[in-house]
Amino acid sequence: YLTEPQQVEMHPLYQDASRVLAQTEQKQGTIRRLAIADAVRNKKATLAIASETMRYNQVLEQCLAEAGIADKQSEFQPWILKVMAYDFLFGRGKIQCGGAVARAIKENGTRLREALETM
């Protein structure tokens, strides 16, 4: 039996992509240059998901707003919600980790998909 709540780790890909996008937004470099930095664990996958998340940024913002998740962005890192929503809607179709962000997306998955279909 677990006596303490189990800590769920955020998938490193989501962490790295979110960090790259935040740094890009702050004009600290390009997505490509930041994604190949030494601190990034999976450079190719990080570059791919960060680039595509940025590409679909407006669509993701609209889907998150229509699904009622956009207001939760202040609770999480600014880009992590969009990276995970991208993976859910356009990528693998599932989230690679647990936690509050993943729970918010999974609980509103149907509304996210419906918002995407109406665009």
Please state the length of the chain.
119
What is the distance between the alpha carbons of residues 83 and 23, in angstroms, rounded to a whole number?
14
Residue 5 confidence (pLDDT) = 39
In angstroms, the Cα distances linking 20 to 3, 60, 91 are 36, 17, 18
Closest CA to 105 of 118, 73, 18: 73
**3-state secondary structure at position 33:** helix
E-assigned strand segments in the chain: none
pLDDT tens-place string over residues 68-82: 887 766 677 779 999
One-letter identity of residue 77: Q
Average pLDDT over residues 53-81: 86
Mean pLDDT of the chain: 87
Name the amino acid, one letter, at 2.
L
Each residue's pLDDT tens digit, 82-116: 999 999 999 888 888 878 888 889 899 999 999 99
pLDDT value, residue 73: 64
Which residue from 86, 98, 95 is spatially nearest to 50, judged by alpha carbons?
86
Q: Tell me, what's the pLDDT at 114? A: 94
Whether the per-residue pLDDT at 45 is higher than 50: the answer is yes
- Residue 119 has a pLDDT of 84
Contact 103, 18 (CB under 8 A): no
